[in-house]
Amino acid sequence: MARREPVYQVVLMLANSIVGLQGLRVQYRGLENIPASGGALIAVNHTSYVDFLEAGLTVKRTGRWPRYMVKAELRENKIMAFIMKHCGAIGVDREHGAESYHEAVTALEAGEIVLMYPEATISRSFELKEFKSGAARMSLEADVPIVPVIVWGTQRIWSKGTQRRIGRHRFPVVVEVGAPLLPDGAAPDVLTARLRSAMGEALERAQRGFPAPAGEDWVPARLGGGAPAPDEALRLEQEEFALRRAKRDARGD
């Protein structure tokens, strides 16, 4: 189990230290919704490069040790490869995902917590994007609940299309944990829709009363901010993916 790895313990200590050094004022809501035992899939919204810190620390606050599903290409970096190995991370190859899918299902069936992003990539609009069906399919196959989690406020620190604000700023952050969704034999598309709806409701709760200065690049357009609207964010994402493919083709990957 990943929790026995000294490296994992050190990584979580570092994560706590980073949050402390930034002076983040984090509110954790609904921690009781994370099962105390047994397998569970933690589904997290993806708005920043640093939301994985709060997502993991949220699970750890309940005494569980999450296994992250992360991009397999991170293993190309020796340091990241070392961390992934010793933290039990599950590398996801987006073009050949069967191996990582089965590894995640096996972990869930063994009673572990697996943490994943159903949107797959960062949302530039900071709204929920369309969800992939992987979370629902894994939940159904392993017969474990999906716990919807919203991390809100970390996009102010570092995200796509925003000013990077690394340092001690004492920014507020809200982590909203929703009630577990039981698979109940639902079709994958039905369970995916239920998950997205639950996360949408949790997002609204997290945003309620949260600062939303007009025009700020980390505030959604819907709330009067300067972030791109979902349609524009999708266009920017498609342009980014096309550029990446062109670079891979040029390298002959």
100: domain CATH number is 3.40.1130.10
As to burial, measured by CB atoms within 10 angstroms (0-12 exposed, 13-18 middle, 19+ buried), residue 244 is exposed
229 versus 90: the higher-pLDDT residue is 229
Which SS3 state, helix, strand or coil, does residue 74 take?
helix
DSSP state for residue 72 in the 8-state scheme: G
Interatomic CA distance for residues 47 and 5, integer angstroms: 29
The predicted-structure confidence for 176-215, as pLDDT tens digits, reads as follows: 999 999 999 899 999 999 999 999 999 999 999 999 999 9
Domain that holds residue 123: 2-251
Interatomic CA distance for residues 204 and 201, integer angstroms: 5
pTM for this prediction: 0.92
What pLDDT is attached to residue 79? 67
Measuring CA to CA, how many Å separate 180 from each of 118, 183, 197? 15, 10, 13
Domain count, the chain: 1
The predicted-structure confidence for 95-147, as pLDDT tens digits, reads as follows: 667 888 999 999 999 999 999 999 999 999 999 999 999 999 999 999 999 99
Measuring CA to CA, how many Å separate 60 from each of 16, 115, 139? 11, 12, 21
